[in-house]
Amino acid sequence: MLYHLFEYLDQAGYSGAGVFQYISFRAALSGITALLFSILVGKKFIAFLQKKQIGETIRNLGLEGQMQKKGTPTMGGLIIISSIVLPALLFTDLTNVYVVLMLISCLWMGLFGFIDDYIKVFKKDKEGMKARTKLLGQLGLGIFIAIAVDYTHSINDIPLETNLPIFKDRFSFSELLPGDGNAWLIYTPFIIVIVMALTNAVNLTDGIDGLATGTTAIVGIGLGLLAYAAGNVKFAEYLNIIYVPESGEVVVFLSAIIGACLGFLWYNGYPAQVFMGDTGSLALGGSLSAVAVIIKMELLLPVLCGVFFAESLSVVLQVSYFKYTKKRFGEGRRIFLMSPLHHHFQKKNIPESKITLRFWLITAILVLVTIALLKLR
């Protein structure tokens, strides 16, 4: 809203109003606003949750200090979502289709997460929303993102391709399925997999204090740098990546995500005063996946989001191996002491805060590796 106001003032000749045209300036304002809003609103919202006794139900997994978290306010993802949406409405160009797409992605998955948390907290059902329903929500978002991005990119004559790390060539969906208009038959399932994989991975990572929040903020910084490059014709040409016109607005939105996560970390860091719940983790996962698709960096996600995917992969491996050994030997065996991966290290008696810090450091390293892989091209 402020963007459009200052755009009008700039056209009317008011001195200094043109500063709002700079993405870097608006991104800074967006991040600061999200940070301060989440800190200020967070304190009151946590008090409200405590008053209403909206606390986390803890399953006893035998982890040190786990049961002490029982009753800690949850559904704090509402703080994150509101801290993202407010700066996005204030500082982004609301006529930009990518901004609208990111808002929908954040709110859509946030809604499913809220319903899941509501069932757990108020209906006293520890299982929450049925897995099938949650997957259908992710499936719907994946289809929507694929159609919207494909349509928008086709208008701007952007080919149905994606950037590859290391190699200068680009991955073309049209080459996999030749024929006029057939590429979407591969592109759409590809995007659905990306959305579902990343959304669930962020959700699984949200298991100990501050882990998902801090990791998302660091990944957001990496994606922000990639988005800025993809939206700048000179940087895109220099790095030999696909130029996506008007995608620079994504940086302003990502800045809001980073600020919201850092502000939420004020209360979510060890020992946590509030948990984000599925409301926050699904909203963040949906938002990050939408960004990667918009700027055509999907194939860089396994490196950039390595911690998220390692958490998810540990669950897949653990469950698969357990079922296989139970069928073959009559007794289920495990690869990890417990999954997701952060619980494995907890079982090794590594302090929760140390696990979180190390995972953050690994994520920061992976962000640098991702940028290096792109530069090597």
3-class SS of residue 160? coil
167, part of any domain:
no
- C-alpha span between 50 and 53 (Å, rounded): 5
- 132 sits in which H/E element: helix 131-155
Tell me, what's the pLDDT at 167?
A: 81
By residue range, what is the domain housing residue 101? Answer: 2-158+184-375
- C-alpha span between 92 and 251 (Å, rounded): 9
Strand partners, 161: 172
225, part of any domain:
yes
175, part of any domain:
no
- What average pLDDT does range 306-327 have in this prediction? 96
DSSP strand pairing (171-172 vs 161-162): antiparallel
Q: How far is CA 361 from the centre of its chain?
A: 18
Model pLDDT for residues 235-293, shown as the tens digit of each residue: 999 999 999 999 999 999 999 999 999 999 999 999 999 999 999 999 999 999 999 99
Domain count, the chain: 1
Residue 345 has pLDDT above 60, yes or no: yes
HEC assignment per residue over 324-366: HHHHHHCCCCCCCCCCCHHHHHHHCCCCHHHHHHHHHHHHHHH
Cβ(251)–Cβ(265) below 8 Å: no
75, part of any domain:
yes
165, part of any domain:
no
Rounded (10°) CA dihedral 282, 288, 294, 299: -110
279, part of any domain:
yes
